[in-house]
Amino acid sequence: MSLGRILVVEDDTPIRRGIVDALRFSGYEPIEACDGRAGLDAALGAGVDLVLLDVLLPKLDGFEVLEELRKAEPTLGVIMLTARGTEEDRVRGLRGGADDYVVKPFSATELLARVEAVLRRAPERPDTIESIEIAGRTIDFARREIQLPDGRRVALSEREAGLLRYLGQCPGRAVSREELLQRVWGIDPRGVHTRTVDMHVARVREALGDDAAHPSVIVTVRGKGYMLAASETEPSEQETSAT
């Protein structure tokens, strides 16, 4: 049984094949792409668990691929690979939503350790969902809108839809603000103090017509984070405040 499907996006053939061989030998199922466009298509269509993404690529560079991936697949693990080890490049990659950054040359042992670490800390990645029906409301992610019980439709911003989609992909689990920052916003939450998540949740609750004082669609789980209530949640697990 494979430990996971990993996409290697690298235009240098010897390096790519060396990584693929190391992954396969360690029990992973590797797939390959030799340019940014092919890598993006494979990442979005091949059901991968992790992407090893070179920065200097033809057609689309690694940062462009990362930006598109984070819009479409906020939960997908990404490790950037580059010969450019400057602090500026590392910060750009991490702020863009990369989970880790490995500077060439690197050993197979180091890379495999990074792969294991990212896969270990990543939440379970459920299938992509197109819509959710909850409490008489229909959330359509393709249209980025909510249909309320009275038939009215409310538009969502891309970020608001991403927030709802991520919560919907984690049924029955409270998602921390830190995880939401990392997976939806693509921001490293370490050392970051912001109420961005809370403000977006408040706006989404308003769009849902969810009672701000006693929310029943997006509930706040005390000490843990937010959860989309696919079914009635035990009162003891909810806070009565909106954030």
**What pLDDT score was predicted for residue 122?**
61
Last residue of a domain, one of 121, 156, 177: 121
- The CATH number of residue 97's host domain is 3.40.50.2300
DSSP 31-42: EEESSHHHHHHH
Cβ-based neighbours of 180, under 8 Å, separated by 6 or more = 163, 166, 197, 225, 226
- Per the structure, the complete domain to which residue 172 belongs is given by 131-237
Q: Are 52 and 6 in contact (CB under 8 A)?
A: yes
CA distance 15 to 7: 14
Same domain, 147 and 89: no
Residue 16 confidence (pLDDT) above 50: yes
Residue 141 lies in a domain: yes
Q: Are 58 and 13 in contact (CB under 8 A)?
A: no
Average pLDDT over residues 89-93: 75
Same domain, 81 and 154: no
Q: What is the pLDDT of residues 209-226, one digit of tens each?
A: 988 888 888 988 888 889
CB under 8 A, 24+ apart: contacts of 97-104: 97/66, 97/69, 97/70, 97/182, 97/185, 97/186, 97/187, 98/53, 98/66, 104/15
Residue 173 lies in a domain: yes
Residue 243 lies in a domain: no
